[in-house]
Structure 1
């Protein structure tokens, strides 16, 4: 089994996908179609070697990009390599075991719809808000994989051995809330924030519910829900003497 000699002298298992990803990211940073032959040529040059250093592999990537004539991609890879060298030397005050994200590439992948995450959430559309959530989510997802999951688990996800869903939030997933408490007490409980008294009419109750769900949704990763919607709102319909059409209009 091939081993990679890390910069600190320790050995790490060899993962070909990491080489492919590094080359592919260099192409994507220049909006150039990925050339699979470059990856194949790099792998062909190391196929009979049992031990390789990280620097040896990066030198090979640069050599094969040069031979392919992809000079813009080569320049991008060299800049990326130099930047990471600076980070390792703590010139930028960053850590060795942290994934660094190419900002330009991240935005370009979303704008050009190349990022699979655009379709990962059926509740999020392709929009400016989607771009903001996608960009922030990519940072948080890498935090999960770098700092919370083990190195082996993070590598398995990145290698596609399995998929860890919804990595883009550092919060709990779904939640259910007591509609009775909201209707009896109003929307309150957070110091320094605007509060609402208990609603007295049907429309007021609906507005408070919409406000509650909208705010809480931004604090959780998944869906928010109330139970017994019809049971708890029926008294308001009775008190306001609303017709079926009026109820339907208020809800829709």
Structure 2
């Protein structure tokens, strides 16, 4: 007899029909479909019965989350093929995210214990730099996932094109040049602090140094 489900983290959970109904309804909504109560009850009953068969065949009292997902997909195939595809697509989307985070984790471990030599301008021995490099790796993965087309990604992997600083392209700009005179004139606000217009050359150079450091941290490239 089926007692429950072993989740991905190894914990136990009782079989919950409502969670299946919520999941398939979300998949239906994404493709502007509506499942009837009969359809939902059929899916739950199908999944439960097949899960019991799997548990019995393998001399177990539980099934795994991936097994439940597979059964839900099969049940949806019998009910509505569009919703079934939506369910599969979202499941694949989550799997892609897991793979992406796994790549980030592996890179973070390398940065933490080995260091990073990709950029000679950064000292990966510093804690602040390690944090920045790990965040950059996540940004790079997100950029590849959501901003590059399949053709562009394939071209990158095949070596036909190279996109510099992918880790910074999502949320900043490249080598922004600005008129320092306009910045200093009449004062300005930076970092929640108001700076008055410098009245001496010595003060101006100090302020320009602050502005340059702040601007450099908000963009990439030199």
Q: TM-score, normalised by structure 2?
A: 0.50
Greater RCO (CA < 8 Å, at least 6 residues apart): 2
Bigger proportion of residues as helix: 2
